[in-house]
Amino acid sequence: MTSPADRPHVLMMSEITADGKLTLKKGASSKILMKYMAHETELLLHNTRAEYDAIMVGANTIRIDNSFLTVRYVQGKSPLRVIPCSMADLPLDANVLGSDAPTAIAVCESAPQERIDAIKQKGAHVIVAGKTHVELPLLLKILKEKFGINKLMIEGGPTLNWHMLHDRLVDEIRLIHLPFIVGGADTPSLVGGMHINTEDEMIRLNLKKFYLCGSNLVSEFDVLYTKK
């Protein structure tokens, strides 16, 4: 484990097509592609969730996929569900605000109080981490110190993945490879955000394991950040 002591160890886990995409097209739910995962891989995903203290996805994934983020296919405790949503504008009927598992919504200081109150009324924790947007390093520190989260997995989407990598907060990546090509220049891929300008900015990975899980290839990497 390479994570610094003041934040949880972080695993990024994702299903991706052979051309590196996360969905069929922009705005489509990843649940459509997930239907094609082998059952053994669904078990791997849910076993991983059960091993982790918390699971985080971006607010847009909740808006589009309306994910539950619970452990369902195996025995085990569902992790704390964490959603960064700067202005607290998550739909109040989102599945993550249901009572299946605990949830924390991370917001910034400018989030309207009435939205924060409405989220709290649904039984979720609200974490204020940042002035004008959610600052992920601060959020992870709070998760470790106040919620006792030592192991956090993130399941996308591309915007959250980019910010987490950019802030050097990801220790490991586990990819479930789906044997499809979907194409589309604007179809969400594993990492969104800004392009880099030089090869010095590439984030280097060390391939540590690859195996078949049912009919799906799974690959596992350590993230090797170089010193700034």
Ligand X SMILES: NC(=O)c1ccc[n+]([C@@H]2O[C@H](COP(=O)([O-])OP(=O)(O)OC[C@H]3O[C@@H](n4cnc5c(N)ncnc54)[C@H](OP(=O)(O)O)[C@@H]3O)[C@@H](O)[C@H]2O)c1
Binding site for ligand X (CB under 6 A): 14-15, 22-23, 28-30, 57-61, 64-65, 84-87, 89, 133-134, 136, 155-160, 163, 188, 192
Cβ proximity to ligand X: between 1 and 194 the closer is 194
| Residue number, 1 or 215, with CB nearest to ligand X | 215
Comparison of 75 and 168: residue with beta carbon closer to ligand X: 168
Q: Are residues 84 and 59 in contact, defined by beta-carbon separation less than 8 angstroms?
A: yes
Least distance from C-beta 23 to ligand X, angstroms? Answer: 4
CB of residue 29 to ligand X, shortest distance in Å: 5
Please state the closest distance from residue 3 (CB atom) to ligand X, in A: 18
Q: How far is the CB of 28 from ligand X (least distance, A)?
A: 6
- Report the residue number, 114 or 200, with the smaller CB distance to ligand X: 114
Instruction: Rank residues 59 and 198 by Cβ distance to ligand X and give the closer one.
Output: 59
Query: Cβ-closest residue to ligand X?
Result: 58
Rounded to the nearest whole angstrom, what is the least distance from the CB of residue 7 to ligand X in the complex?
Answer: 14
